[in-house]
A = this chain, B = another copy of it.
């Protein structure tokens, strides 16, 4: 299978078989993750490999006990990391405080997410399934504690992986490409554009069922009033703001 086929067959997998991820498979995933583009050649990320079930159990509450946090044989956590580069600067007796700011954080987040997505593509090419856990950006302090991350290291992506146990689910309904693309300048959306863009998502069986069961009226209402609520988002924004500052950026 070539890369395009791998990319177009992506869908989230949330149930994993008991088959462990072989060491050579993990090595290939890591090699791919480590070969992505990186800001100025600095490779401002670290990957924490979790295979110990006790570690998974320890972190499960911070993942709101989602099954994927404990039922996968492997979890990769990608961290924005300026600590290693700081240590290198210290080692060469150069000041490290040039990179304790928001630009440096943004560079490191970008490097970490490039590495994370490369790892995902590699994993799927090797027959694994995976899903991203958004909880890493909610309960960031708990993950920093559990993984013993030093200052200037912030986890930004957490991806359980394993051989799929579930029969491969169909592709998730998505927006039409035309809704995501702008030529030369951003063209704002008319009501007709929005209706056309979201029509497929609104009528996807899983979304229709969610709206009906939760009495949320529309898919928009289901997001705003149930899935990702303002008060939660504002609370976890405050937590994230504080943790970025506490980690020294």
Say yes or no: A43 contacts B180, CB within 8 Å: yes
Q: How far is the CA of A147 from the CA of B55 in the complex (A)?
A: 45
Chain A residues numbered 151-200 whose CB sits less than 8 Å from any CB in chain B: 153, 156-157, 171-175, 177, 179-186, 188-189, 191, 194-195, 197-198
Interface readout for A101-137 with B: 1 if CB under 8 Å, 0 if not?
1111011011001101110111011100001101001
Select one of B8, B179, B191, B227 contacting A84, CB under 8 A: B179
What 5 A-B pairs come out closest when comparing CB atoms? A3-B125, A92-B220, A98-B230, A117-B117, A7-B32
Additional A-B contact list (18), CB under 8 Å, known A36-B117, A47-B180, A94-B225: A3-B122, A3-B124, A10-B36, A27-B177, A34-B175, A41-B172, A49-B183, A85-B223, A88-B220, A89-B220, A89-B224, A91-B194, A99-B228, A103-B236, A104-B237, A113-B113, A147-B185, A147-B186
Is A30 interfacial (CB 8 A cutoff)? yes
Say yes or no: B240 contacts A102, CB within 8 Å: yes
Residues of A in contact with B (beta carbons under 8 Å apart): 1-4, 6-8, 10, 12, 27-28, 30-43, 45-52, 55, 79, 84-85, 87-89, 91-92, 94-99, 101-104, 106-107, 109-110, 113-114, 116-118, 120-122, 124-126, 131-132, 134, 137-138, 146-150, 153, 156-157, 171-175, 177, 179-186, 188-189, 191, 194-195, 197-198, 201, 217-221, 223-225, 227-230, 233-234, 236-237, 240-241
Select one of B12, B157, B188 contacting A150, CB under 8 A: B188
Q: How far is the CA of A94 from the CA of B8 in the complex (A)?
A: 32
Say yes or no: B52 contacts A184, CB within 8 Å: yes
User: Known: A37-B10, A134-B40. Contact between A197 and B157, CB under 8 A?
Assistant: no
Select one of B104, B148, B241 contacting A185, CB under 8 A: B148
| Residue ID in chain B nearest A43 by CB atoms | B175
Select one of B117, B157, B229 contacting A98, CB under 8 A: B229
